[in-house]
Amino acid sequence: MTVADGTSTGIGLRHLLSTEALRRDQAEALLDTAAGMEQALTGRAVRKLPTLRGRTVVTLFYENSTRTRVSFEVAGKWMSADTINVSASASSVSKGESLRDTAATLGAAGADCLIVRHPASGAPHRIAAWLDRVGHSHLGAEGHVAVVNAGDGTHEHPTQALLDAATLRARLGRVEGAHVAIVGDVLHSRVARSNAHLLATLGARVTLVSPPTLLPVGVESWPVAVSHDLDATLGGDAAGGAPDAVMMLRVQAERMHGGFFPSAREYAIRFGLSQARADRLADHAVVLHPGPAVRGMEIASSVADSSRAAITEQVTAGVHVRMAVLYHLLAGEDVA
**Residue 310 CB, nearest approach to other proteins (Å):** 23
Q: Which stretch binds other proteins (CB under 8 A): 7-15, 213-221, 250-258, 299-307?
A: 7-15
The count of chain residues that interact with other proteins, using the rule CB under 8 A, is 26
* Half-sphere CA count of 207, side-chain side, radius 13 A: 27
> Does 50 interact with other proteins (rule: CB under 8 A)?
yes
Task: Select from 45, 90, 141, 217 the one that contacts other proteins (CB under 8 A).
Answer: 45
Q: Which stretch binds other proteins (CB under 8 A): 44-52, 144-152, 218-226, 303-311?
A: 44-52
Nearest to residue 183, comparing CAs of 280, 64, 270, 87? 270
Nearest to residue 145, comparing CAs of 127, 118, 119, 121? 127
SS3 at position 331: helix
> Does 49 interact with other proteins (rule: CB under 8 A)?
yes
> Does 141 interact with other proteins (rule: CB under 8 A)?
no
> Does 201 interact with other proteins (rule: CB under 8 A)?
no
Distance (Å, rounded) from C-alpha 40 to C-alpha 34?
Answer: 10
Q: What is the DSSP string of 33-56?
A: HHHHHHHHHTT-S-----TTTT-E
Distance (Å, rounded) from C-alpha 282 to C-alpha 278?
Answer: 9
Q: 180: burial class by Cβ within 10 Å (0-12, 13-18, 19+)?
A: buried
Chain mean position to CA 245: 17
Instruction: List the interface residues with other proteins, window 79-108 (CB under 8 A).
Output: 79
> Does 139 interact with other proteins (rule: CB under 8 A)?
no
Annotation-wise, does 95 bind a ligand? yes
Annotation-wise, does 174 bind a ligand? no
> Does 43 interact with other proteins (rule: CB under 8 A)?
yes
Task: Select from 82, 132, 313, 334 the one that contacts other proteins (CB under 8 A).
Answer: 334
SS3 at position 98: coil
Q: Which stretch binds other proteins (CB under 8 A): 189-197, 247-255, 294-302, 325-333?
A: 325-333
> Does 327 interact with other proteins (rule: CB under 8 A)?
yes
Q: Which stretch binds other proteins (CB under 8 A): 218-226, 243-251, 280-288, 328-336?
A: 328-336
Nearest to residue 200, comparing CAs of 226, 230, 172, 180? 180
Residues in the chain: 336
Annotation-wise, does 291 bind a ligand? yes
Annotation-wise, does 275 bind a ligand? no
> Does 219 interact with other proteins (rule: CB under 8 A)?
no
- Residue with Cβ nearer other proteins (10 or 223): 10
Annotation-wise, does 250 bind a ligand? yes
Distance (Å, rounded) from C-alpha 331 to C-alpha 29?
Answer: 14
Chain mean position to CA 235: 28
Q: What residues are designated binding site for carbamoyl phosphate?
A: 67-68, 117, 157, 160, 291-292
Applying CB under 8 A, the residues found at the interface with other proteins are 8-11, 29, 32-33, 36-37, 39-40, 43-46, 48-51, 79, 327-328, 331-334
